[in-house]
Structure 1
């Protein structure tokens, strides 16, 4: 698919992890799970400044990692990344392992993340099936407005057939970029797409499948358990520790506060010493 690769060469974003170390790619992939690029960029630079190698992060207290995660959300990712760094140091001499099975065995790394790290850090042709790539494939080659909830065998086989021989990870980066910038979920820029003349979905009139690709309404943030957890975490990022009575004042719904506090303790993200709370160490 030369047209896709040519489009990528001319239009790819200047993302710093593309010219980074394997560890820089690992950090970016953790941060990009459920967080958009524009929010990740400043935090990624900060992390790479503080902890440019797995050994640097492994030697830092977990509380520092949780604090520097900032407002990226889902702070369990920071805890898993910290654990990941410790295992890389302990079991792999501080070097990110290139093998897919070994990558998948690390905390916080599943099938997709392992494939992405292998492709982008080690220049290997892998089946990287993030939502942007899957949407592009569904539209262009299957004539569907959106992919199914999870990749199926037919989709994986299609992806294998499309993967160029001798690929060095560029195909995954190119199709991901094309899906993110052009073949967008809600407002695709079809006239700017290098695949517009071979896109099956475009050729058959952009049909919308019932029950597939319908964007479900995002759960509200304001007043949610997630917001409550986030408020507690932010208060603890801004203070070395906080008394129980001080912490109780930051959220009006006592029942929801207690539930959020208990879940943060269970997740190992915060610690309690007597009547004082702090980020986990």
Structure 2
């Protein structure tokens, strides 16, 4: 047996016997080795740039929407230098409906910085990665682990939920990442590179597919018998089940999305009357257009609007 499953199935030693989290990691690692999704940014031929692009795209966007966009993006701009040289309008059109188009601008700015400061190569190390535009603590850790195969404590929303339940015994983590959570995540993560990378990928997958926020599939969980939350009777389960996602209809996000869609679909500048027709509330529309201009996503030329060059 080779690969992640083999690493997860390593025999118990005196050291791991003293580690209270060894069984948790091993069970999740074996499960991941058997069930991991076949995603292109996990392929053996993945590149650090491809991993970085995937992590930016996956922020608050489901895999099913990201995968085709990522494939098209990487075919068009396979290296940072390719994206750095692209027009902003082309970048925003390619981003399409992935949401939060400011991420596309930051990704292009990141590519330009990689070209200018790192000879077009995604840098090694979390400190160097965090110095890139738009790269925060999570993204730097994820690229370090998944692109460079080095130890990092990778904690996203899914990992926070897995640790809250399996280790902390509560239904959901706190609204914001706490110092206590950070300490727990660091304690659970293996100290070796291979083990830490496996744990990062496996715990994220478990939270995404099994230990979900509203409908956890405890019967399919590889650590169901050891989970502190399940052993306690799943306290707070009713609260987690009622948890709602943020409303979309009628929000500024929806209005901004409609304006961006109108501009992406147009071959050139769009008349103000056409933009005003996308939404019924003139005051809300004006506010949203102004915010798009301020964010650098839209340019106003006289009475017309366009994507930036």
TM-score, normalised by the number of residues in structure 2: 0.87
Instruction: State which of 258, 264, 276 in structure 1 corresponds to 2:292.
Output: 264
Residues 184-207 of structure 1 show CA distances to partners (whole Å, capped at 9, x for unaligned) of 111111121111121111111111
Alpha-carbon shift at residue 7 of structure 1 (Å): 0.7
Find the counterpart in structure 1 of residue 64 from structure 2. 38
Equivalent pairs, count: 280
Find the counterpart in structure 2 of residue 56 from structure 1. 82
Matched, 1:5 2:32: no
Find the counterpart in structure 1 of residue 278 from structure 2. 250
Find the counterpart in structure 2 of residue 187 from structure 1. 215
Matched, 1:82 2:108: yes
Alpha-carbon shift at residue 217 of structure 1 (Å): 3.8
The alignment partner of 2:142 has SS state of helix
Report if the CA contact (8 A) 2:29-2:199 is conserved.
yes
Alpha-carbon shift at residue 13 of structure 1 (Å): 0.3
Matches within 5 A, 1:37-186: 37-168=63-194, 169-186=197-214
Alpha-carbon shift at residue 51 of structure 1 (Å): 0.3
Residues 224-248 of structure 1 show CA distances to partners (whole Å, capped at 9, x for unaligned) of 2111111110010011221112222
Q: Distance in 2 between matches of 1:214 and 1:116?
A: 29
The alignment partner of 1:122 has SS state of coil
Q: Distance in 2 between matches of 1:153 and 1:241?
A: 49
The alignment partner of 1:186 has SS state of coil
The alignment partner of 1:97 has SS state of coil
Structure 1 pair 140/216, CA: closer, same or farther in 2 (3 Å)? closer
Structure 2 residues not aligned, in runs of 5+ = 1-24
Instruction: State which of 52, 55, 68 in structure 2 corresponds to 1:29.
Output: 55
Find the counterpart in structure 2 of residue 201 from structure 1. 229
The alignment partner of 1:272 has SS state of strand
Alpha-carbon shift at residue 209 of structure 1 (Å): 8.1
Report if the CA contact (8 A) 2:52-2:143 is conserved.
yes
The alignment partner of 2:305 has SS state of strand
Q: Distance in 2 between matches of 1:247 and 1:152?
A: 43
Residues 89-123 of structure 1 show CA distances to partners (whole Å, capped at 9, x for unaligned) of 01110000122112112121111111111111111
TM-score, normalised by the number of residues in structure 1: 0.95
Q: Which runs of 4+ in 1 moved over 6 A?
A: none
RMSD: 1.6
Structure 1 pair 46/237, CA: closer, same or farther in 2 (3 Å)? same
Find the counterpart in structure 1 of residue 8 from structure 2. none
The alignment partner of 1:277 has SS state of strand
Alpha-carbon shift at residue 36 of structure 1 (Å): 0.8
Instruction: State which of 38, 41, 62 in structure 2 corresponds to 1:14.
Output: 38
Structure 1 residues not aligned, in runs of 5+ = none
Structure 1 pair 36/238, CA: closer, same or farther in 2 (3 Å)? same
